[in-house]
Copies of this chain bind each other. A is one copy, B any other.
Amino acid sequence: MSPAAEGSANRAVVLLSGGLDSATVLAEALREGLECHALSFRYGQRHDAELDAAARVARALGAASHRVIGLELDALGGSALTDARIAVPESPTEGIPVTYVPARNSVFLSLGMGLAEVLEADQLFVGVNAVDYSGYPDCRSVFIEAFESMAALATRRGVEGAPLRVRAPLIRMSKAEIIRRGVELGVDYGLTVSCYQADEAGAACGRCDACRLRRAGFESAGISDPTLYRD
């Protein structure tokens, strides 16, 4: 039986940023035999390189569909990722980093929940990770669990007794573990872009938090890093 013929119990929405983590999550969900619908956001990030990467990853791994929703998250201000006036830090910082975008994961998960409802998908996958991003409040397990409880009350399928499952399979994995798992699953990380300030071609700065974590992850995994660095 094909995945589509099995209906909604076999269907998932996967949030796909174009980075390393969410590509691994998509591969993981596909490995489970799920019909995966990828969802990305154009939210005022500084460049489109990550959306191009998301499209490449969705196609290469075999997602059933890929949507991009535009969202003026930059209208809120307050983050280095969406406000050109705030510099992206190039050395480690303490506490909640300025690259944190207020409410971003809540907004993205809510939109993913909406798509899951429309597609009658019963699972929503997200690549949040509490190890490397411990400074982001909305990358913690307690947050994901609270979101799932909220989702059970927010939607038609929750009211009808089949609440959405929200899955964050990477949440307790190190970057090296994620990379090893992705390589096992056949992910080509050369297609992904993690850098907070990638150029239009997707070349990475090599210096921001995301680049440092990614580079250290490949080193620690003992896997050669396919990332294109611009210097």
Contact = CB atoms under 8 A, between A and B. Distances in A.
A114 interface: yes
A114 B147 CA distance: 15
Given A72-B70, A72-B71, A143-B154, A107 B103 contact: no
Query: Which of under 10, 10 to 19, 20 to 34, or 35 or more describes the interface residues of A?
Result: 35 or more
Contacts of A71: 69-72
State the number of copies, please: 2
The secondary-structure label for the interface of chain A is helix
A140 B152 CA distance: 12
Interface string A38-79: 000000000000000000000000000001111111011110
Contacts of A142: 153
Interface stretch (A155-163, A192-200, A201-209): A155-163
Contacts of A118: 76-78, 102
Given A72-B69, A76-B111, A96 B156 contact: yes
Most central of A71, A76, A149 by chain B CB within 10 Å: A76
B156 A146 contact: no
Interface in A130-183: 137-138, 140, 142-143, 146-147, 149-156, 158-159
A76 B113 CA distance: 10
Contacts of A137: 153-156, 158-159
A213 to B, nearest CB: 21
Contact of A150 (B69, B101, B143, B155): B143
A8 B76 CA distance: 16
Contacts of A104: 114
A117 interface: yes
The 3 A-B residue pairs whose C-beta atoms are closest, nearest first, are: A103-B114, A78-B118, A106-B110
7 contacts: A102-B117, A103-B114, A103-B154, A105-B154, A106-B110, A107-B110, A143-B153
Interface of A: 67-73, 75-78, 96, 100-107, 110-111, 113-115, 117-118, 137-138, 140, 142-143, 146-147, 149-156, 158-159
